[in-house]
Structure 1
Amino acid sequence: MSAPGSARPTSFPLRMPRMPLHDPYVVADAESGLYHLYTAAQGLGTGVGTMVYRSENLRDWAEPVPVFLVDDQDEPWARHGAWAPEVHRWKDAWYLFTTLHDEDAVLEVPPPDRYGLPVPLPGHRRSTVTAVADSLTGPFRMLKPEAPILPAELMTLDGTLFVDDEGRPWMVYANEWLQRVDGTVEAFPLTEGLDAVAGAAVMLFKGSDAAWITRELPAGVPYQLAPYVTDGPQLYRTPSGALVCLWSTYEKNRASGGRIDGEYVQTYAVAASGALEGPWAQGEPLVRGDSGHGMLFTDFEGRLMMVLHRPFTNARGKLYEMELSDEGLRVVRQCTELDGDA
């Protein structure tokens, strides 16, 4: 079965200011000479799922086509969400990671002492699923439609594939702040078939480990009014073998009427050891201005690039040239000639 958009595009009429792009993810496919930019299906009238834009130059994009639709799966455990799609090559196929949620499956409140913190809300089931296809344009089929891959009691958002030095696959994900107050980034071991291995998660770091998040909070603000969000993890190796983890959160900047207002930011952490267990050192934010959920890729000219969305609501894609060194990650410049931002 071929995907509706499997043929090579002949027209590239779109620029990023016209493209709804929440949680963007780019695959630079040298074989086709096309960049594939994945996001949640929006405006296609096809239902919940994932769509892809394609481009030859990162500036001009073809109309999006669906590559994964929840309603086409065999009795899926959830039919909502499809957040934060990513597509990875593993073995001889392409694998889609995306987060589904089931509002009817209310989760039990976990013990408050897992990380020594109270829990504000029970929340409902949210979990990253995996789906496979022979092509970057799908159609992607869920590997395990009947149940979440990872333990169903955990809210495992924004899962990404990480392969360690021994070639073992892991899912790295954000454990939702709704469960933890202090959200975490964790890793769970997978089988060769990308199913969960029996065992426990490895915690990389907590949201509160980034001390700058609450730097501007007034003294005496109760901890419960300042939850620490973690989302959008992606791991990348430095030239020396250290690990860099992109992630996003909210920088808290004031308390008003019992509510914390903050700004979405793109940040990162570094594990100099190169091990998932760390220890992880938190960097300063890379991009502010209500920007985040970024990911790194290398373009066809060999430049390291980052794509993210801004603003959080009614999001559009923004592109940055980046520099990765043993000291960490930095923004070289925003590529305004590509993303249409003045």
Structure 2
Amino acid sequence: MVKKLSEIHIRDPYILTVPTDKKYYLYGTEGSTAWSGQPVGFDSYVSEDLIHWDGPYPVFRPNPGFWSDHHYWAPEVYAFGEKYVMFASFKADHVCRGTEALISDHPLGPFRPLGDRPLTPPDWECLDGTLYTDEDGRHWMVFCREWLQVTDGEMYAVPLKPGLDAAEGEPKLLFRASDAPWSKAGEQGQYVTDGPFLHKMASGELIMLWSTGGAKGYTMGIARSTSGKVTGPWSQDPEPLFAEDGGHGMIFRDLNGHLRMTIHSPNVQPLERPVIYELAEENGRLRYVAKN
């Protein structure tokens, strides 16, 4: 079934551009089961123009015995050699939430777990792992440690083994949510870290999109690595990039090479929908200039 973005109820949107197919693949958290209910897995939508989306197509369905039975969140899919790798977060009762790697021969799956457990520490409540490969070819996963466990949400990077099937070292703390001047504490005094995504600017500067609570609801801003390395140190821009109750964004290039960003907005169930903006980069800053 062909749909427009306004008809697709997902959170945490992620778009993979595949030039050889001349197609885009949209993934995300199923909106109706994001917080409650038992998800069936992950789906994808396919487009040739970023306007009309065909689907949903099932890309991940857990086998019997899969350890998680709820909170299937934030799938991201990357080309990895001749394969495709998905990072996604999962939860089970009495088991800490974690990000796991899955692998497939095709963007539409089927994806299967790559390792035997999540890439995040087993005794940490974590979510929203995103893949970054540095200039030396080393793979890292940047992820959030939840405020539920530490109150002031934390952002970490952990090095991964070449096959992405396990961590290869200890997580390194990058920053805390309260470090950003636009981050606002919730009713319980908590600061949220959500949705990291790393991007190299035209100048070579390494930035990170990430989301938290702000003055007008869900808010997304930019952190900058002052060393150019994923391990930082990281500084926070003084003003957010998007402050109107939307976020968990990522950046991609369309088939014509133009820079785009997708987020979900608003951050209110059941109204959240994926939104796509065209971006402009000016003097080391990003600005969204048009909306699909």
The answer for the alignment partner of 2:60 in structure 1 is: 68
- Contact 2:102/2:114 (CA < 8 Å) preserved in 1? yes
Q: Unaligned regions of 5+ residues in structure 1, if any?
A: 1-11, 106-124, 218-222, 254-261
Which residue identity is paired with 1:176?
E
In structure 2, distance between residues paired with 1:278 and 1:63: 40
The answer for the alignment partner of 1:157 in structure 2 is: 127
- Contact 1:240/1:326 (CA < 8 Å) preserved in 2? no
In structure 2, distance between residues paired with 1:93 and 1:186: 26
In structure 1, distance between residues paired with 2:224 and 2:258: 21
Q: Deviations over 1:1-37 (max 9, x none)?
A: xxxxxxxxxxx63111111121100011111111100
**Aligned-partner SS, 1:208:** helix
The answer for the alignment partner of 2:90 in structure 1 is: 100
- Flag the 1:323–1:204 CA change in 2: closer, same or farther, 3 A: farther
In structure 2, distance between residues paired with 1:26 and 1:98: 14
With 276-285 and 303-312 compared, the bigger mean Cα shift is at 276-285
- Contact 2:90/2:97 (CA < 8 Å) preserved in 1? yes
What's the RMSD between the two structures over aligned residues? 2.2
Q: 2:21 aligns with which of 24, 27, 32?
A: 32
Which residue identity is paired with 1:266?
M
Residues 229-244 of structure 1: pairs in structure 2 closer than 5 A: 229-244=192-207
The answer for the alignment partner of 1:8 in structure 2 is: none
Structure 1 residue 196, shift from structure 2 partner: 2.9
Structure 1 residue 135, shift from structure 2 partner: 0.3
Q: 1:171 aligns with which of 121, 127, 141?
A: 141
Residues 262-341 of structure 1: pairs in structure 2 closer than 5 A: 263-283=217-237, 284-312=239-267, 313-314=269-270, 315-324=272-281, 327-331=284-288, 333-335=289-291, 338=292
Q: 2:5 aligns with which of 10, 13, 16?
A: 16
- TM-score, L = length of structure 1: 0.78
**Aligned-partner SS, 2:274:** strand
In structure 2, distance between residues paired with 1:153 and 1:277: 22
- Contact 1:77/1:148 (CA < 8 Å) preserved in 2? no
The answer for the alignment partner of 1:194 in structure 2 is: 164
Q: Unaligned regions of 5+ residues in structure 2, if any?
A: none
The aligned length equals: 286
- Contact 1:76/1:147 (CA < 8 Å) preserved in 2? no
Residues 47-86 of structure 1: pairs in structure 2 closer than 5 A: 47-70=39-62, 72=63, 75-86=65-76
- Contact 1:270/1:328 (CA < 8 Å) preserved in 2? no
Q: Deviations over 1:152-204 (max 9, x none)?
A: 01122010111111101111111111111111111111101113335321111
Which residue identity is paired with 1:78?
S
Q: Indicate the percent of aligned positions where both proteins have the same amino acid.
A: 38
- Flag the 1:225–1:82 CA change in 2: closer, same or farther, 3 A: closer
The answer for the alignment partner of 1:131 in structure 2 is: 102
- Contact 2:11/2:31 (CA < 8 Å) preserved in 1? no
- Contact 2:151/2:190 (CA < 8 Å) preserved in 1? yes
In structure 1, distance between residues paired with 2:256 and 2:278: 12
Which is richer in strand?
A: 2
- TM-score, L = length of structure 2: 0.91
Tell me, yes or no, if structure 1 residue 212 matches structure 2 residue 182.
Answer: yes
In structure 1, distance between residues paired with 2:149 and 2:263: 26
